Amino acid sequence: MPADDAALFGPENLPYGVFSVDGGAPRVGVRLGDEVIDLAQLFGDPRFEQPSLNAFMASGYESWVEVRRQLQERITEQALPAETRIPLSEVTLQMPIEVADYVDFYASEHHASNLGRLFRPDAEPLLPNWKHLPVGYHGRSGTVVVSDTDIRRPCGQRKAPDASEPTFGPSTRLDIEAELGFVVGTGSRLGEQLTTADFERSVFGCVLVNDWSARDIQAWEYVPLGPHLGKSFATSISPWVVPLLALTEARRELPGQDPTPLPYLREERGWGLDIELEVAWNGQVVSRPPYGEMYWSPAQMLAHMTVNGATARTGDLYASGTISGPEKEQRGAFIELTWGGKEPVTVNGEERTFLLDGDQVAISATAPGPHGSRIGFGEVRGQILPAPCA
């Protein structure tokens, strides 16, 4: 997948990001081919003279539609002044949003079933609640970082299966999770519930997510309250936010839900998305997870996240959880791909299971666009640095 192919960033895409030039003030731009369009210069709008997309996202759905219409019109008419067009090679991409809250779901039946078989081999793969609600946990917004931020191996408590007591030290089972993230543009008040029908006017766009996971720390800590330090040390997102408005051709019905969800989770038309991901480990593609296989939709996740009256806020990020398909080469986490480390994969001639210091992981994705085109998400990349406690 040519993650940086200019053809993936045509006028049918127009993803938003935040950039700077030569150490100058960050501001909002849109990617067009191999250039960045400076929206502050183009429109003279203070919403785009900001170090995040939050001010623009908060202006609401009608504003998103109008800015996109004006952009596409100017591109068609070749009315983009030269001073607004900056070569991509000359910009530094920044964190695109100020993250308000971060929630991570567990929406792939294939992923959840695989982990169930790994962790509970003598029981049903899925727990009783899994097909009744989108399972998730509340993460740590302060450690969501933009692509190309180095990831330091976390330290924590680990307990070997044959040990009587835990030990402290660097994680030895450091993993990735290839995910899709959804960015809330306009939120809700405390006590208000968003419905599945509110999704496309509430969610601004999508990013690629790598939810780095320390599996040994996670395995010891997660009973009974779930993920904590094994997840909270870092989550990486891509610098480009692909607007939901660009993904109309990618929309698909879900593969099927049985039993029928409770009324608040039902959709008149499903928000499945035909998005194809690639996971590259030190430059070698090792997996191609298909987002179209996900069991729960992002609209259902949003409805569930607010059904108890919890607020949604501009800049909230919620992620799908690991994206996995039915085939081995479609698994979006190394714990699945190597079956808990028992079935190594060959990476550049070496047998590998979990991440070593110096490893780099890059996740990219594309989706169908109009007239046979493809929409690009770019990449989310990160390299592992040694643990501070080593």
- The model's pLDDT over 238-268, given as tens digits with 9 standing for 90+, comes to 999 999 999 999 999 999 999 999 999 999 9
Judgement on whether residues 351 and 227 belong to the same structural domain of the protein: yes
Q: How far is CA 21 from the centre of its chain?
A: 26
With the C-alpha atoms ordered 137, 207, 205, 111, is the resulting torsion angle positive or negative?
Answer: negative
Q: Which is the catalytic residue, given 111, 138, 228, 304?
A: 111
Residue 349, CA atoms < 13 Å, CB-side half-sphere = 0
CATH number at 69 reads 2.30.30.230
Q: What backbone torsions phi and psi does residue 219 show, to the nearest 5 degrees?
A: -65, -35
Q: Which of 46, 73, 94 is the last residue of a domain?
A: 94
390 domain residue, yes or no: no
Place of tokens 């993650």: 3
322 domain residue, yes or no: yes
156 domain residue, yes or no: yes
Residues in the chain: 390
227 domain residue, yes or no: yes
**Whole-prediction pTM value?**
0.97
Q: Find the largest Cα–Cα distance for the chain.
A: 71
What is the mean pLDDT of the segment spanning 66-72? 98
- Residue 33 predicted with pLDDT over 70: yes
Judgement on whether residues 124 and 242 belong to the same structural domain of the protein: yes
319 domain residue, yes or no: yes
What is the per-residue pLDDT for 94?
Answer: 98
Rounded to whole angstroms, how far apart are CA atoms 153 and 220?
Answer: 17
Rounded to whole angstroms, how far apart are CA atoms 145 and 99?
Answer: 10
Place of tokens 């779901």: 105
Judgement on whether residues 89 and 110 belong to the same structural domain of the protein: no
Annotated binding site: 104, 106, 120, 177, 179, 211, 218, 222, 231, 235, 322
Residue 284, CA atoms < 13 Å, CB-side half-sphere = 12
- Residue 1 predicted with pLDDT over 60: no
C-alpha dihedral over 185, 321, 288, 235, to 10 degrees? 70
Annotated binding site for substrate: 106, 120, 218, 222, 322
C-alpha distances in angstroms, 374 versus 12, 47, 141, 319, 370?
A: 9, 29, 31, 22, 8
| Per-residue pLDDT band at 4 (split at 50, 70, 90) | low
Judgement on whether residues 40 and 117 belong to the same structural domain of the protein: no
Q: Which of 31, 59, 94 is the last residue of a domain?
A: 94
Judgement on whether residues 368 and 220 belong to the same structural domain of the protein: yes
Annotated binding site for Ca(2+): 104, 177, 179, 211
Render pLDDT for 306-333 as a digit per residue (tens, 0 to 9).
Answer: 999 999 999 999 999 999 999 999 999 9
**87's tokens:** 């070569």
Judgement on whether residues 288 and 153 belong to the same structural domain of the protein: yes
What is the mean pLDDT of the segment spanning 79-103? 97
Is 111 designated active site? Answer: yes
CATH number at 255 reads 3.90.850.10
Q: Which of 94, 123, 157 is the last residue of a domain?
A: 94
What is the per-residue pLDDT for 390?
Answer: 67
- Domain range for 69: 5-94
Judgement on whether residues 90 and 112 belong to the same structural domain of the protein: no
Place of tokens 């895409």: 13
Name the residue among 303, 320, 300, 321 with its Cα closest to residue 312. 303
Judgement on whether residues 118 and 214 belong to the same structural domain of the protein: yes
Per cent of the chain over pLDDT 90 is: 96
Name the residue among 236, 88, 229, 216 with its Cα closest to residue 150. 236
Q: What is the DSSP letter of 153?
A: P
Judgement on whether residues 168 and 283 belong to the same structural domain of the protein: yes
Q: What backbone torsions phi and psi does residue 221 show, to the nearest 5 degrees?
A: -95, -20
Judgement on whether residues 106 and 81 belong to the same structural domain of the protein: no
Domain count for the chain? 2
| Per-residue pLDDT band at 131 (split at 50, 70, 90) | very high
| Per-residue pLDDT band at 161 (split at 50, 70, 90) | confident
Higher pLDDT, residue 390 or 277: 277
219 domain residue, yes or no: yes
278 domain residue, yes or no: yes
What is the per-residue pLDDT for 386?
Answer: 98
Judgement on whether residues 174 and 221 belong to the same structural domain of the protein: yes
Judgement on whether residues 52 and 167 belong to the same structural domain of the protein: no
Secondary structure class of 112 (helix, strand, coil): helix
